[in-house]
Amino acid sequence: MPPSVEILLENWLEELRIQRDYSAHTINAYRRDTVGFRKFLEEHKGENITAETLKNLKNTDFRSWLSRRIGEGLSARSNARALSAVKSFFNYLAKRNLSDLKVIDTVKRPKLSVLLPKPIEEDKILSFINSDFFFLRDPEWITRRDRALFSLLYCCGLRINEALNIKTKELGSEIKVLGKGKKDRMTLLLPSVLDRINLYVSSCPYDLKEGFLFVGLKGKRLHASLVDNRLQKLRLLHDLPDHAGAHAFRHSFATHLVRHGADLRSVQELLGHESLSSTQIYTDVDDYNLLKVYQNTHPLEKNSLS
């Protein structure tokens, strides 16, 4: 007799965590989506859901579930993620002969609208990271910390957690960054940014030599939520756009590089993208400027024939 659905779910999530190294955030999202799917089935079928129930589901059951989510006002992106989670669970079941993937594979993924990244304008981001202070009453070392952090995010296009996971002993002209999927990549540091980091380190009242580079008031590792909270308040003080969260520095890094003629392969490597298609979205942000670079650099345009 097959295990209960609850046990199957927990075993599947444990496999994702241990064997596939999924993050806690992803595991929680997958748990929430599949538990929601099971609860829908209980209402839809009017019975307790067993492994046998899952094995005998029809295409219409999955469609009814997605229709319910659409009716509840959930976005296409949220529904696509939920379907991905459920498909992953049924793939786990299929390996144990507890489901037929042909049924769920006929369910089409919701179409997603392309969300273009929103960079911060060059003059505004440069003015911001070169500010004499961020909050007037901050201790000087906190101002230096923030200036170093924001400069680093814009200099290297790091995700906020990539920056906050850097250890002080790893500092140099190159830094090894632990990216998504726990994949390492090397990123270069501009000398001016390294100088800012070193100035912060030398003024910090805590010994950072063996610990994390960026710490809070009590000397503990700085958290992304605190950084975004500070940025929400700083937007009003420094005339930054509404979307100027920590990730906007990464978008600005990539967009500004493309705007000034950097090739996509290089930007892809710097961002740590696995696929070039993930990087190509930055060409749509400023097509006009990219066209000017193209016209100014292509040999046929530079040596046009009359």
pLDDT in tens, 65-91: 999 998 998 888 888 889 989 999 998
pLDDT in tens, 78-124: 888 899 899 999 989 988 888 877 778 888 877 766 667 788 999 99
Task: Delimit the domains of the chain by residue range.
Answer: 5-105, 122-296
Is 298 a residue of the active site? no
Query: For residue 305, what pLDDT is reported?
Result: 44
Is 180 a residue of the active site? yes
Structure tokens at 168: 């002080």
CA distance 295 to 228: 39
Query: For residue 285, what pLDDT is reported?
Result: 61
Q: Does the structure show a pLDDT above 60 at 302?
A: no
Q: Is the pTM of this model over 0.75?
A: no
Is 250 a residue of the active site? yes
Decide: residue 205, CB within 10 A, 0-12 exposed, 13-18 middle, 19+ buried.
exposed
CATH (residue range 5-105): 1.10.150.130
CA distance 231 to 240: 9
Facing residues of 220 across strands?
A: none
Q: Does the structure show a pLDDT above 80 at 241?
A: yes
Task: Give the helix ranges, DSSP H, for the chain.
Answer: 5-18, 24-45, 51-55, 59-71, 76-94, 101-105, 122-129, 140-156, 160-164, 191-203, 224-237, 246-259, 264-271, 276-280, 287-297, 299-302
Facing residues of 178 across strands?
A: 184
Q: Does the structure show a pLDDT above 90 at 289?
A: no
Please give the span between the terminal C-alpha atoms of the chain, in angstroms, as a whole number: 81
Q: Which of 69, 145, 159, 251 does the annotation list as catalytic?
A: 159
pLDDT grade for 39, boundaries at 50, 70 and 90? very high
Query: For residue 112, what pLDDT is reported?
Result: 63
Query: For residue 288, what pLDDT is reported?
Result: 46
CA distance 181 to 184: 9
Query: For residue 306, what pLDDT is reported?
Result: 40
Average pLDDT, the chain: 86
CATH (residue range 122-296): 1.10.443.10
